[in-house]
Structure 1
Amino acid sequence: MPSILILFALSFVVCVYLKKARRGLPLPPGPRKYPIIGNLLHVPTKHQWAEYNRIAKEYNSDILHFQVFSSSIVVLNSFGVANDLLHHRSSLYSSRQEYSSSLIDECHGELLSQYKPVSTMVNELMGWKAIFSQQPYGEQWRNHRRVFWQEFNPEHSKANHRHIQLQYARDLVRRLQETPLDFQSHIRYTIGASILDVVYGLNIQEKEDPNIIMADNALQHLGVAVITGAFVVDYFPILKYLPPRWMPGAGFRILGDDSTRDMQLLIDTPYSESRLSFAAGRSGSAFIDRAFNRGHVINGGKEERVIKETAATAYLVRRCFIYRRDGKISQCATESIRRTRSISGRSSPRFHRSASSTVYFCSDARNIEVGTCRPPSLVADDNYKGYHLPKDSVIFFNIWAMLRDETIFPEPEKFNPSRFLINGAIDDRLKEHVMSAFGFGRRGCPGRHFAQDTLWITIVSLLSVFTISNAIDEGGKPIVPQLKYSADLVRHVLPFKCFIQPRSDNARELIERFCQS
């Protein structure tokens, strides 16, 4: 047995050497690779975004390479590198993992590769292959994304969603007026309620809504599974056939079964509720209603499945707000609001953007972690900056590091929206960097316009009527919050205290009108 292992190790080393010799160019820098396991011991499994950034500084390189068994991993830690590869060379970096065969893309006429998912844990065992952000580039992905884009493109979103976003922004103001200490649960409710309304036309319960719980459960499962190196079944897919649930070491099978159940519930349950409520007389103003009306859909057919799965994708991309507070910034933002037509006299905020004010309503995107739910992969060998990037490499783009680049964002930990202004207007160069939070190239988030509008109208509505300041302790001293974040796939700010109150009598009157409208 030991001789077989030695022979296997030697074969592995020889194969790696020969492959490198054929390549010519070196791989990007990274930790030393051990025989057989490669960098298995070096790939971080917690706080990946910070660890990859630390390793990048250690090697003085904004592009890293790791090898885990036969899997190649490339980590991009700067906006310039990510933009060059994922945007300008998007035809090579737009798919998901594992090469199968070549074809000509009918839509773009480019030579691409047909992929089958290699993320055995996420796609095959956990049921996430139904979500188009997890799918390889091809007909299925294009069908899902087309349905999504028809609903969430800028013009359609403006015409069909803004009144709903405004409604829930005002509802959030009402809730904060009544119980300001519960601000985090109010925000969670507002995000969940607005997207459920837009996608399915459903109302949600004030607390413990089952649809919200299903989405949280699905994301919680995914947050565990997408960490590179978390499950050896991704490197040795044959293991999915071996251990039954009751055997020691088969925990990944239990997680897979639980996730598949929760994912299927999320796809089927709100969709069925929406169709039943529509049949009972609900106005057909939701995403799935419009998707049905755009084409001939047969119950149980391929078109209906696409709509169901795309609706679930739209629901899962909801995001949470992270509060950062600075008195001076809050004052500047409020004055900026008052100078625009968003608020005229005592009228309530409406959708209106101005170059001088929008910057103060952008979220501090520096709290977004590595990549996306599932990173893209490289469909063919590529050379870049004197390095060889192997075909089939998994590509992580570390947005957390990109938005902490001190050469672009001085004092990155300091909340300073003024950094985005130049001569009183938004600096489009920095805005482009922040927009990288929504991804690059063809894999960029198609729901980014909806997300931006939701964020904008919500923050404008809050700052128009509330003063948000530090809480006060028993001794009368301000409690400066030390914001901490969860280490999940989608980072959430952990509970903290702050003080929210109407800024004036006129603001109280405006809140009353919010409640009545």
Structure 2
Amino acid sequence: MASPTTIALGAVFCAVIVRLLLQRGSQRRKLLPPGPPPLPIIGNAHQIPTVQEWKTYCKWADDYNAHKLLYFRNFGQSFLVINDLATAQEIFERRSTKYSDRSDMVMTFDLMEMTWNFGFKRYGDEWREQRKMFSIAHHPNAVHQHYEVQTRACGELIRALLHTPDEFEDHIAFFSGQVILNIVYGYRAKDRHDPFVELSELAQSLLNETNHQLYPVELFPVLKHYPRWLPGADFLVPWKHVDKARSVNAALVNEPFNRAVEDMSKDGTDPSFVQEHLQRLEEVTDPSAKKRLKTVVQQTAAVQYFAGADTVSTALSGFILAMSLYPEVQKKAQAELDSVLRGSRLPNFTDKEDLPYIGAVLKETMRWNPVTPLGIPHRSSEDDMVDGYLIPKDTIVFGNTWKILHDPKLYGEDFMVFNPERFLPKDGAAMPPDPVVACFGYGRRICPGRHFAMNNLFIVMSSILATFNIAKALDANGKEIEPGLEFSTGTVSKPEPFKARVEARSEQARKLALLEA
């Protein structure tokens, strides 16, 4: 039996260890970035917003002097929001080896079975292989091969707007969907209600619904094993939503791909990403390698199909909204188009360099209401010190794109105004950063389809402005209806439904559009 002295020494030793651990924890807490004070155990769980989170983070940045780094906790999980462009570039680009990983997205990745989407995959060999295949297909030197498809689809969009202008949202969504379906699968969608167009939209909607909720299973992944037939299971995991998402994701990955494989044996099939890569696989002799690579092709195709349409249509909806609110911007853009096109044709991709104001309108559209206000979260792979602050390992890190692109130090005090001229050269004035630096992500996680997306936006915006006047809708008494400036919550933030008048600028513009379309 231990002597009283031994017991006393043991107790003192334990007390010293506990004190040192507490001191170390206290010292670490003092090094954390500013943010709302946490409560014991739950942290800031009671304060974390579920609607337009980026705006709450902007308010917290002011409240807690967190204009660069904002820190908070949800139970045991650390979160960091970067509110400053220079800091975002430092963390995501210059320190990309520490911040290129993704968090364990239990709902999205495990339960909804989006393991095919490399945008959500952990940093590693699978991610590299899939991203490389995607990047080569959408490299700046390769995207010109899509001009014909984009121009043809844009012509169809213009013709549809001439016939049913009130349905502009549907026409824009169809343009975005049909372009990506043709380029990736060689499939020509028939109309707005084509099953493959609607399938992608449904998958995006389910993901958006998931990402603006915080489910208990995200904080405590072990709960995914909780039997779904026990009481409370639907609170821990929304099983009906999960089951539907699984079914939709499986269809999204398999159905258009299988259709493309079938069409390869038919004459007159349009060239596509799937066709090109499957033909290359014919040279692979190892059956197991061939099977694995076919899966990589199938999954990479699905990522393009999933991500390529919704973001473009959302940006174009924001563009229509802006044009209805800022007629003076529209007139300047049309004057530039008229000086280049001289009323003899619609714009094409060779006109880009001659249309700097249109380019500025495109940039301002991306800045004014960024499509992905918080992007997709990164994860820190080790402890790090940034500006004297500790970023703990496994912290979930967001770039607050909305705040960065509304920073008065970068874009002026009129940052809420749609003003393309901020992106035009002025004598002696420094140009603000191109919104592309923030709205398409950073570093190794930057969106590899950004060049393709920007081309889609250019051809549609310039063609619409060359053909149409956009104005506020009128009520039954002929008075203008003020559109609301409300945007949805989710990974992709869309303008809430609004009305606008889309009318041909002239009979000549109508005839020209019908002729070229």
* Letter of the 1:475 counterpart: N
Residues 366 and 439, structure 2, Cα contact 8 Å, conserved in 1: no
Which of 301, 316, 336 is residue 291 of structure 2 equivalent to?
301
Which of 413, 417, 429 is residue 416 of structure 2 equivalent to?
413
| Residue deviations 1:39-74 (CA, integer Å, cap 9, x gap) | 211221221111111111111212111122221111
1:333 aligns with 333
User: SS of the counterpart of 2:142?
Assistant: helix
Q: Which residues of structure 1 form unaligned runs of 5+? A: 1-12, 98-117
| Residue deviations 1:390-413 (CA, integer Å, cap 9, x gap) | 011100111111111122222222
Matches of 1:34 and 1:272, distance apart in 2: 52
User: SS of the counterpart of 1:161?
Assistant: helix
Which of 392, 397, 400 is residue 394 of structure 2 equivalent to?
392
1:402-441 alignment runs, 5 A limit = 402-409=404-411, 410-423=413-426, 429-431=432-434, 433-441=435-443
* CA shift in 2, pair 1:303/1:411, >3 Å: same
| Residue deviations 1:414-449 (CA, integer Å, cap 9, x gap) | 111111112389965421x44310001010000000
Shift of 1:459: 0.7
1:59-208 alignment runs, 5 A limit = 59-62=64-67, 63-97=69-103, 118-158=104-144, 160-208=145-193
TM-score scaled by structure 2?
0.87
Residues 374 and 491, structure 2, Cα contact 8 Å, conserved in 1: no
Higher Cα Rg, which structure: 2
| Residue deviations 1:78-107 (CA, integer Å, cap 9, x gap) | 21221111112111111113xxxxxxxxxx
Residues 422 and 431, structure 2, Cα contact 8 Å, conserved in 1: no
Q: Could you say which structure has the higher helix fraction?
A: 2
Matched, 1:235 2:181: no
* Letter of the 1:353 counterpart: K
Residues 142-151 or 318-327, more deviating:
318-327
Residues 367 and 406, structure 2, Cα contact 8 Å, conserved in 1: no
Which of 56, 59, 79 is residue 54 of structure 1 equivalent to?
59
User: SS of the counterpart of 2:241?
Assistant: helix
2:199 aligns with 214
Shift of 1:377: 0.5
Q: Which residues of structure 2 form unaligned runs of 5+? A: 1-17
1:439-478 alignment runs, 5 A limit = 439-478=441-480
TM-score scaled by structure 1?
0.87
Matches of 1:189 and 1:167, distance apart in 2: 13
User: SS of the counterpart of 2:275?
Assistant: helix
Matches of 1:138 and 1:219, distance apart in 2: 25
| Residue deviations 1:109-163 (CA, integer Å, cap 9, x gap) | xxxxxxxxx22222111111210000111110011001101111111111x2111
Residues 295-304 or 379-388, more deviating:
295-304
1:256 aligns with 242
Shift of 1:497: 1.9
Matches of 2:21 and 2:414, distance apart in 1: 42
* CA shift in 2, pair 1:353/1:17, >3 Å: farther
Matched, 1:30 2:35: yes
Which of 298, 316, 324 is residue 306 of structure 2 equivalent to?
316
| Residue deviations 1:438-470 (CA, integer Å, cap 9, x gap) | 001010000000000000010111111111122
Matched, 1:346 2:344: yes
| Residue deviations 1:174-203 (CA, integer Å, cap 9, x gap) | 001111111111111111111111111112
Matches of 1:154 and 1:466, distance apart in 2: 30
Residues 176 and 182, structure 1, Cα contact 8 Å, conserved in 2: yes
Matches of 2:250 and 2:335, distance apart in 1: 47
* Letter of the 2:40 counterpart: P
| Residue deviations 1:1-44 (CA, integer Å, cap 9, x gap) | xxxxxxxxxxxx98984553564861001111122211211221
* CA shift in 2, pair 1:339/1:361, >3 Å: farther
Residues 373 and 493, structure 2, Cα contact 8 Å, conserved in 1: no
1:102 aligns with none
1:3 aligns with none
Shift of 1:260: 1.7
Matches of 1:168 and 1:183, distance apart in 2: 14
